[in-house]
Homo-oligomer: A and B are copies of this chain.
Amino acid sequence: MLATVLYGPRDVRCEDIADPKILQPTDAIIELAATCICGSDLWPYRGLQPMDEPMHMGHEYCGTVVEVGSDVRTVRPGQFVVGSFCISDNTCPHCRFGFQSSCVQREFMSGAQAPYARVPLADGTLVATAEAPSADSVPDLLAASDVFGTGWYAADAAGVREGSTVVVIGDGAVGLMGVLSAKEMGAERIIAMSRHESRQKLAREFGATDIVCERGEEGIARVKDLTEGIGADAVLECVGTMESFAQTLDCARPGGTIGYVGVPHGVTFDGQQLFFGQKRMLGGPAPVRRFLPDLMDRVLQGRIKPSKSSTLSCR
Answer whether A271 and B269 are a contact pair too, CB < 8 Å, given A255-B94, A255-B98: yes
Asked if residues A263 and B272 are in contact (CB atoms below 8 Å), the reply is yes
Q: Does A283 reach chain B (CB closer than 8 Å)?
A: yes
Give chain B nearest CB distance to A285 CB in angstroms: 7
Contact, CB under 8 Å: A102 / B254: yes
The answer to whether A93 has its CB under 8 Å from any CB of chain B is yes
Q: Within 8 Å of chain B (Cβ to Cβ): is A52?
A: no
Tally of this chain's copies: 2
A146 to chain B, nearest CB (A): 16
Known: A253-B97, A276-B285. A271 touches B268 (CB 8 A): yes
Contact with B along A259-278 (1 / 0, CB 8 A): 01001111111111011111
Which residues from 169 to 219 on chain A have a C-beta closer than 8 Å to any C-beta of chain B?
none
Q: Point out the residues of chain B lying under 8 angstroms from A282, CB to CB.
A: 278-281
With a 10 A CB-CB cut-off, give which of A228, A266, A283 has the most chain B CB atoms: A283
Residue of A98, A260, A271 ringed by the most chain B CB atoms within 10 A: A271
> Mask for A232-263, Cβ within 8 A of B = 1, else 0?
00000000100001000000011100001001
Residue in contact with A264 in the complex, picked from B97, B254, B272, CB distance below 8 Å:
B272
Q: Range of interface residues on chain A? A: 35 or more
Q: Which residues of B contact A84 (CB under 8 A)?
A: none
A264 to B273, CA, bound (A): 9
Partner of A93, one of B240, B253, B267, B277: B253
Contact in complex: A275, B254 (CB < 8 Å): no
A256 (CB) vs chain B CBs: closest residue: B97
Query: CB-CB < 8 A to A97: which residues of B?
Result: 253-255
A314 sits at the interface (CB 8 A)? no
A278–B285 touching, CB < 8 Å: yes
Contacts of A268 in B (CB 8 A): 268-271
Considering the chains assembled together, what is the distance between the CA atoms of A105 and B302 in angstroms? Answer: 49
Contacts of A157 in B (CB 8 A): 280
Is A284 part of the contact surface with B, judged by Cβ < 8 Å? Answer: yes
CA distance A245 to B253 in the complex (A): 24
CB nearest to A272 among chain B residues: B264
Asked if B263 and A94 sit within 8 Å, CB to CB, the answer is no
CB-CB nearest in chain B for A287: B255
Residues of B within 8 A of A148 (CB): none
A280-B97 Cα distance, complex, nearest whole Å: 13
A73 vs chain B, min Cβ distance (A): 25
The reply to whether A271 and B264 contact each other, CB–CB distance below 8 Å, is yes
Q: How far is the CA of A138 from the CA of B86 in the complex (A)?
A: 55
With a cutoff of 8 Å between Cβ atoms, the chain B residues found around residue A245 in the complex are 271
A267-B270, A267-B271, A269-B274 provided; 4 other pairs, C-beta below 8 A? Answer: A101-B254, A263-B275, A265-B272, A269-B269
Instruction: Give A contacts to B, CB under 8 Å.
Output: 93-94, 97-99, 101-102, 157, 228, 230, 240, 245, 253-255, 260, 263-272, 274-285, 287
